[in-house]
Amino acid sequence: MRRRVLPGFGISLGYALTYLGLIVLLPLAALAWKATDIGFEGLVRLLSAPRTLAALRLSVGGALVSALINVVIGLLVSWVLVRYRFPGRRLFDALVDLPFALPTAVAGIALTTLYAPKGWLGRWLEPLGIHVAYTPLGVLVAMIFVGFPFVVRTLQPVLASLERDVEEAAESLGAQRWQTFFRVILPLLAPTLLTGFALALARAVGEYGSVIFIAGNMPRKSEIAPLLIVQKLEQFNYAGAAALGVALLSLSFVLLVLVAVLQRWSNRWTEQAA
């Protein structure tokens, strides 16, 4: 008789599926059901409004750009923290988790204070024509801030587990350092990079607290989709808020599915190359 690794697998699976249904699937189903109250014509009218399109474009587009930036900077930071030893490394490593522990509203106020026209950095950037606070650039900065730890913490254990034998073998065959990185190390890190990208993207798409303070919330310019949802709720337009939520959820789901497909393809390509 074959023994299962997890005792009571059937019962455990039942509990897991029940918990998943109550915590995740049921609220999402209720959201989608509430959105139907607006009707198909109302949904088309809401989603085709210039203000809604601009907010969705800023939220999703800003999340994509911030996730891409976090992948590049997160890889660099992870590499330094794993491969080098220097004074203050543990403190620097602990600071990476600051966006996790910091309340989003506090983060938004701190970023606004820093990049406002009279802020510590804003006063130097304004003469150069770089306006951060109360612009889409400020939204991007806030999204980068909240998504950065996800990439670093995803990459660190993988980088630490990589054997240096492969790098030494490539160098012994005459490969330059950049060739070793792009042809040996980067393909091995590709699935992890995609995972970090997906986590940072998911975090940034629905970000609200740290963005509203620095965004300025100007319609069709620096207004994010979650703010439109909050405004609909304040107007007791629950069906409209649910419809916007479903639209944002659908866009996020499509992006995450694309990332998952790319990650699966990357895993297969890495296995074939190995």
pLDDT in tens, 94-130: 999 988 888 888 999 999 999 998 888 999 998 898 9
| Structure-token pair, residue 182 | 């792009």
Sign of the dihedral through C-alpha 173, 177, 182, 187 = positive
Can you identify the CATH homologous superfamily of domain 40-273?
Answer: MetI-like (1.10.3720.10)
Give residue 65's pLDDT. 95
3-class DSSP state for residue 221? coil
* Burial (0-12, 13-18, 19+ Cβ within 10 Å), 40: exposed
**What is the DSSP annotation of 147-191?**
HHHHHHHHHHHHHHH--THHHHHHHHTT--HHHHIIIIIHHHHHH
CB 212 within 8 A of CB 227: yes
Distance CA 70, CA 83 (A): 19
Contact criterion met (CB below 8 Å) for 155 and 77: no
Q: What is the pLDDT of residue 43?
A: 85
Q: Work out the burial of residue 257: count CB atoms within 10 Å of its CB; fewer than 13 is exposed, 13-18 middle, 19 or more buried.
A: exposed
Q: Where are the domains of the chain?
A: 40-273
Q: Could you give the C-alpha distances from 30 to 25, 33, 36, 66, in angstroms and in order? A: 9, 5, 10, 31
Residue 37 tokens read as 């109250």
Phi then psi for 105, rounded to 5 degrees? -65, -40
Q: How far is it, in rounded angstroms, from Cα 233 to Cα 99?
A: 27
SS3 content of the chain, % helix, strand, coil (to 5): 80, 0, 20
**Which residue numbers in the chain have pLDDT < 70?**
1-10, 266-267, 269-274
Which tens digit of pLDDT belongs to each residue from 231-266? 999 999 999 999 998 888 888 888 888 887 877 776
Tell me the whole-structure pTM to 2 decimals.
0.85
Per-residue pLDDT, 73: 95
pLDDT at 138: 93
Alpha carbon distance 19, 9 (integer Å): 15
Structure tokens at 148: 């950065």
How many whole angstroms separate alpha carbon 197 and alpha carbon 117? 31
